Structure 1
Amino acid sequence: MFHPLHVRAVEQLTDDSAALTLDVPPELRAAYAYAPGQHIALRRTNERGEEIRRTYSLCDPAGAAPETLRVGVRLVERGEFSTYALKELTEGRTVEVLPPTGRFILEPRPGHFAAVVGGSGITPVLSIAATLLKREPEARFCLIRSDRTTASTMFLEEVADLKDRYPDRFQLVTVLSREEQHSGLASGRLDEERLTALLPSLLYAPGIPAMDGWYLCGPLGLVESASKALRSLGVPRSRIHQEIFHADAGMEGGVAANTLTTTSTSPARPAGLAGPAGSLPTGSVTVSATLAGRGGSWPMDDGESVLETVLRNRADAPYACKGGVCGTCRVRLLSGEVHMDRNYALEPEELDAGYVLACQSHPLTPKVEVDFDA
Structure 2
Amino acid sequence: MIWQTAQIIQQTANTVTIIFDTQGEPFYYKPGQFIQLTLTINGMPVTRSYSLSAVPGGHPAITIKRVPGGVMSNYILDHASQIRQWQVAGPHGSFTPTAATYQARHVVLLAGGSGITPLYTIACSLLEEAPDTHITIIYASRSTDEIIFSKELDACQERYPQRLYVFHALSAAAEVNTTSHLKGRLSKLVTRKLIQQAVTSPLDQAHYFICGPEGLMTMHQEMLTALQVPTDNIFMEWFAPGATDNNAALPGEEQEVLLHFFEQTNLLDVDAGQTILQAALDDRIPLPYSCRGGTCGICSAKLTSGKVTMRQNYALRPSDIANGMILLCQSYPLTADVTVVVGE
TM-score, reference length from structure 1: 0.84
Change (3 A) 1:198 1:130: closer
Give how far 1:153 is off: 1.3
Runs (5+) with no aligned partner, structure 2 = none
The equivalent residue for 1:194 is: 190
The equivalent residue for 1:78 is: 69
1:351 is aligned, of 309, 318, 321, to 321
The question of whether the paired residues in 2 share the 8 Å contact of 1:305 and 1:358 is answered with yes
Counterpart-to-counterpart distance in 1, 2:309 and 2:287: 20
Give how far 1:302 is off: 5.8
The equivalent residue for 2:137 is: 143
The equivalent residue for 2:211 is: 217
Change (3 A) 1:207 1:275: farther
Aligned length: 339
The question of whether the paired residues in 2 share the 8 Å contact of 1:287 and 1:297 is answered with yes
The question of whether the paired residues in 1 share the 8 Å contact of 2:250 and 2:273 is answered with no
Runs (5+) with no aligned partner, structure 1 = 248-254, 260-273
Q: Report the identity percentage.
A: 30
The code of the aligned residue for 1:174 comes to H
RMSD: 2.2
The equivalent residue for 1:15 is: 13
Partner SS state of residue 99, structure 1: strand
The equivalent residue for 1:88 is: 79
The question of whether the paired residues in 2 share the 8 Å contact of 1:285 and 1:366 is answered with yes
Counterpart-to-counterpart distance in 1, 2:338 and 2:189: 43
The question of whether the paired residues in 1 share the 8 Å contact of 2:255 and 2:272 is answered with no
Counterpart-to-counterpart distance in 1, 2:83 and 2:76: 13
Partner SS state of residue 126, structure 1: helix
**1 or 2, which has the higher helix percentage?**
2
The question of whether the paired residues in 2 share the 8 Å contact of 1:35 and 1:107 is answered with no
For 1:182-261, what aligned pairs fall within 5 Å after superposition? 182-184=177-179, 186-200=182-196, 202-211=197-206, 213-247=207-241, 255-257=242-244
The equivalent residue for 1:251 is: none
Give how far 1:176 is off: 0.7
Change (3 A) 1:204 1:336: closer
Give how far 1:92 is off: 5.5
Give how far 1:367 is off: 4.9
The code of the aligned residue for 1:199 comes to I
The question of whether the paired residues in 2 share the 8 Å contact of 1:9 and 1:91 is answered with no
**Alignment deviations for residues 309-347 of structure 1 (CA, whole Å, 9 cap, x no partner):** 222345531112121111111111122322222111111
The equivalent residue for 1:307 is: 277
2:167 is aligned, of 148, 170, 173, to 173
The question of whether the paired residues in 2 share the 8 Å contact of 1:21 and 1:70 is answered with yes
Change (3 A) 1:22 1:293: farther
The code of the aligned residue for 2:186 comes to L
The code of the aligned residue for 2:86 comes to V
Change (3 A) 1:258 1:132: farther
- Moved segments of 4+, more than 4 Å: none
Change (3 A) 1:158 1:176: same
The equivalent residue for 2:60 is: 69
The code of the aligned residue for 1:288 comes to L
The equivalent residue for 1:338 is: 308
The code of the aligned residue for 1:8 comes to A
The code of the aligned residue for 1:97 comes to V
2:9 paired with 1:36: no
2:330 is aligned, of 340, 360, 363, to 360
**Alignment deviations for residues 65-106 of structure 1 (CA, whole Å, 9 cap, x no partner):** x5x210111111111111222223336611211121111101
The question of whether the paired residues in 2 share the 8 Å contact of 1:13 and 1:154 is answered with yes
The equivalent residue for 2:95 is: 104
The equivalent residue for 1:59 is: 53
After superposing the two structures, state which structure 1 stretch, 236-245 or 305-314, moved more.
Answer: 305-314
The question of whether the paired residues in 1 share the 8 Å contact of 2:167 and 2:182 is answered with no
